[in-house]
A and B are shown apart, each in its own frame.
Chain A
Amino acid sequence: MTEQTLKTLDRARAARQWHPVATSDDLRMRHVYHGQILGRELAVWRADDGHVNVWENRCLHRGVRLSIGINDGHELACQYHGWRYANRTAGCTYIPAHPADAPARTICNNTYPATERYGLVWTGEAPEGTAPDAPELQHAGNHLLVLRSLPVNAPLHLTAGHLADYTFYRSDHTRPATQVSTHLRRAGEFQVAVDWTDENGTSALVFFLQPTDNHRTSVHAVLATSKPPDNPLQRLKDHNFAMSLLRDRIEQAARQHPTPAAFTVASPRVSEALATLPKLAATGRKAPLRVVVKSIRDVATEIKAFELISVDTQLPTFQPGAHIDVHLANAQVRQYSLTNAPGQTDRYIIAVKREADGNGGSAFLHQSVRVGDTLAISLPRNNFPLRRDAVNTLLIAGGIGITPLLAMAQTLKSADHPFHLHYFVQDQSHAAFPQLLSTFGTHISMHTGLSPEQTRTTLANTLEGYKPASHVYLCGPAAMLSAARDLAYRMNWPDEAIHFEFFKNTTDVTTDQAFTVELARSGLTLTVESGQTLLHTLRTNGVELPSSCEQGACGTCRVGVLDGEPLHQDVYLSDAEHQRNDCLMTCVSRARSEKLVLDI
Chain B
Amino acid sequence: MITLYDYELSGNCYKIRLLLSILGIKYHSHTVEFYPAAEHKAPWFRQINPLGQLPVLQDDDYTLCDSQAIMVYLASRYDSGNSWYPRDDPQRLGSVSRWLAFADSITNSASSARLVEGFFYDFDAVACRAEAHRLFRILDEHLWFNAKSGHHWIVTGDSPTIADIACFPYIMLSEEGSISRQDYPAIRRWSDHVKRIPGFTVMPGIFPAGPAQ
- The answer to whether A508 has its CB under 8 Å from any CB of chain B is no
Interface size in chain A (residues, C-beta < 8 A): 25
Number of A-B residue pairs at CB separation under 8 A = 49
- The answer to whether A431 has its CB under 8 Å from any CB of chain B is no
B182: chain A residues at CB < 8 Å are 34, 36, 151
B141 touches A48 (CB 8 A): no
Instruction: Give min CB distance, B129 to chain A, whole Å.
Output: 12
With both beta carbons as reference points, the residue of chain B lying nearest to A80 in the complex is identified as B207
Q: A213 to B82: give the CA distance in the assembly, Å.
A: 47
B210 touches A70 (CB 8 A): yes
- The answer to whether A30 has its CB under 8 Å from any CB of chain B is yes
- The answer to whether A31 has its CB under 8 Å from any CB of chain B is yes
- The answer to whether A519 has its CB under 8 Å from any CB of chain B is no
- The answer to whether A29 has its CB under 8 Å from any CB of chain B is yes
A233: chain B residues at CB < 8 Å are 145, 148-149
A22 touches B210 (CB 8 A): no
Q: A562 to B176: give the CA distance in the assembly, Å.
A: 53
- The answer to whether B211 has its CB under 8 Å from any CB of chain A is yes
Instruction: Give min CB distance, B90 to chain A, whole Å.
Output: 24
With both beta carbons as reference points, the residue of chain A lying nearest to B183 in the complex is identified as A151
A482: chain B residues at CB < 8 Å are none
- The majority secondary structure among interface residues of chain A is mixed
Q: A280 to B209: give the CA distance in the assembly, Å.
A: 35
B145: chain A residues at CB < 8 Å are 148, 233, 236-237, 240
- The answer to whether A33 has its CB under 8 Å from any CB of chain B is yes
Known A148-B141, A151-B183: A34·B188 in contact at CB below 8 Å: yes
B148 touches A72 (CB 8 A): no
- The answer to whether B189 has its CB under 8 Å from any CB of chain A is yes
The 8 Å CB contact of B213, one of A30, A33, A34, A151, is A30
The 8 Å CB contact of B189, one of A31, A68, A148, A240, is A31
Q: A244 to B188: give the CA distance in the assembly, Å.
A: 20
B212: chain A residues at CB < 8 Å are 30
The 8 Å CB contact of B185, one of A33, A70, A79, is A33
Instruction: Give min CB distance, A237 to chain B, whole Å.
Output: 7
B207 touches A28 (CB 8 A): no
A86: chain B residues at CB < 8 Å are none
B149: chain A residues at CB < 8 Å are 233
Q: A33 to B186: give the CA distance in the assembly, Å.
A: 10
Known A28-B189, A31-B189, A148-B141: A71·B210 in contact at CB below 8 Å: yes
Interface residue ranges of A12-35 to B (CB < 8 Å):
22, 26, 28-31, 33-34
Mark B115-138 against chain A: 1 for CB-CB distance below 8 A, else 0: 000000000000000000000000
B183: chain A residues at CB < 8 Å are 151
- The answer to whether B144 has its CB under 8 Å from any CB of chain A is yes
B209 touches A29 (CB 8 A): no
Q: A48 to B213: give the CA distance in the assembly, Å.
A: 8
With both beta carbons as reference points, the residue of chain A lying nearest to B212 in the complex is identified as A30
A79 touches B211 (CB 8 A): no
With both beta carbons as reference points, the residue of chain A lying nearest to B211 in the complex is identified as A72
Known A31-B189, A148-B144: A416·B211 in contact at CB below 8 Å: yes
- The answer to whether A73 has its CB under 8 Å from any CB of chain B is yes
A72: chain B residues at CB < 8 Å are 210-211
Q: A431 to B147: give the CA distance in the assembly, Å.
A: 45
B189 touches A77 (CB 8 A): no
Q: A29 to B211: give the CA distance in the assembly, Å.
A: 10
Interface residue ranges of A204-247 to B (CB < 8 Å):
233, 236-237, 240, 244
Q: Top 7 A-B pairs ranked by shortest CB distance?
A: A70-B210, A151-B183, A79-B207, A29-B213, A34-B182, A72-B210, A26-B185
Known A30-B210, A33-B185; 8 more pairs at CB < 8 Å: A30-B209, A34-B185, A72-B210, A73-B213, A148-B145, A233-B148, A236-B145, A244-B141
Using a CB–CB distance below 8 Å, which chain B residues touch chain A?
A: 141, 144-145, 148-149, 181-183, 185, 188-189, 192, 207-213
Using a CB–CB distance below 8 Å, which chain A residues touch chain B?
A: 22, 26, 28-31, 33-34, 36, 48, 68, 70-73, 77, 79, 148, 151, 233, 236-237, 240, 244, 416
Interchain residue pairs with CB less than 8 A apart (8): A22-B185, A34-B185, A148-B141, A233-B149, A236-B145, A237-B145, A240-B145, A416-B211
